[in-house]
């Protein structure tokens, strides 16, 4: 008992107790029965098939139904997204507003419009939102125009984050009002 940690008891003598080692007494593992495998696969398929098909056109519509509805967006009469450049895209939205893809494209179009023009050929600052003409000390713009462009970029990105957060909050509130379960 010299090498024992306090409160540790000596190991039991297996030979004296008649116990066999665990690996000798365990049964040989066997694969699952074919019926069990088929049942498991069927359950997985049913889990995937929880998404309902549209019941429009007497059930012949090949689209999925909107979550919480029995029909697809077209059969529910939702308007097309107006698009980011005035031409409608193929997606439908509940409120007739822009879809997420068009909102992103519009954001990037605004960012491209707000970014400074490329450096002029004469080594002078082309300016930001107005002609400048100062000497370029930083590649592309003078320090004054560079700071102005960064402030505008930060403002536009902040507006985008706020709009995205408001859209998520509105969608969550709508789902909560409809009783749609949260996926996770």
DSSP, res 122: T
d(CA 55, CA 63): 9
Mean pLDDT of the chain: 76
Task: Return the pLDDT at 7.
Answer: 63
Q: Return the higher-pLDDT residue of 167 and 130.
A: 167
pLDDT over 80 at 35, yes or no: yes
pLDDT over 60 at 181, yes or no: yes
When pLDDT is cut at 50, 70 and 90, the band that residue 176 belongs to is: confident
**Residue 145 half-sphere exposure toward CB, CA atoms < 13 A:** 25
Task: Return the pLDDT at 157.
Answer: 92
d(CA 63, CA 35): 33
CB 53, CB 45: distance < 8 Å: no
CB 139, CB 119: distance < 8 Å: yes
Tell me the per-residue pLDDT of 69-109, one tens digit each, with 9 for 90 and over.
Answer: 888 888 889 888 888 776 778 888 888 888 888 888 888 77
pLDDT over 60 at 15, yes or no: no
pLDDT over 80 at 54, yes or no: yes
Give the mean model confidence (pLDDT) for residues 120-135. 71
pTM of the model: 0.37
Q: What residue spans of 126-142 are helical by DSSP H? A: none
**Orientation angle between helical segments 100-114 and 143-178, nearest 10 degrees:** 170
């Amino acid at each position: 008992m010299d090498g024992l940690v306090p409160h540790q008891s000596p190991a039991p003598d297996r030979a004296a107790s008649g116990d066999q080692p665990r690996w000798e007494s365990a049964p040989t593992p066997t694969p699952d029965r074919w019926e069990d495998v088929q049942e498991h696969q069927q359950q997985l398929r049913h889990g995937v098939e929880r998404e309902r098909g549209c019941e429009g056109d007497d059930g012949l519509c090949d689209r999925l139904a909107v979550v919480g509805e029995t029909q697809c967006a077209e059969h529910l009469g939702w308007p097309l997204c107006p698009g980011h450049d005035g031409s409608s895209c193929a997606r439908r939205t509940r409120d007739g507003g822009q879809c997420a893809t068009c909102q992103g494209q519009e954001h990037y179009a605004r960012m491209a419009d707000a970014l400074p023009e490329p450096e002029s050929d004469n080594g002078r600052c082309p300016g930001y939102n107005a002609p400048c003409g100062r000497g370029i000390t930083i590649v592309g713009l003078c320090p004054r125009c560079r700071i102005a462009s960064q402030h505008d970029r930060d403002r536009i990105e902040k507006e985008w984050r706020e709009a995205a957060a408001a859209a998520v909050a509105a969608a969550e509130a709508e789902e909560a009002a409809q009783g749609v379960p949260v996926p996770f």
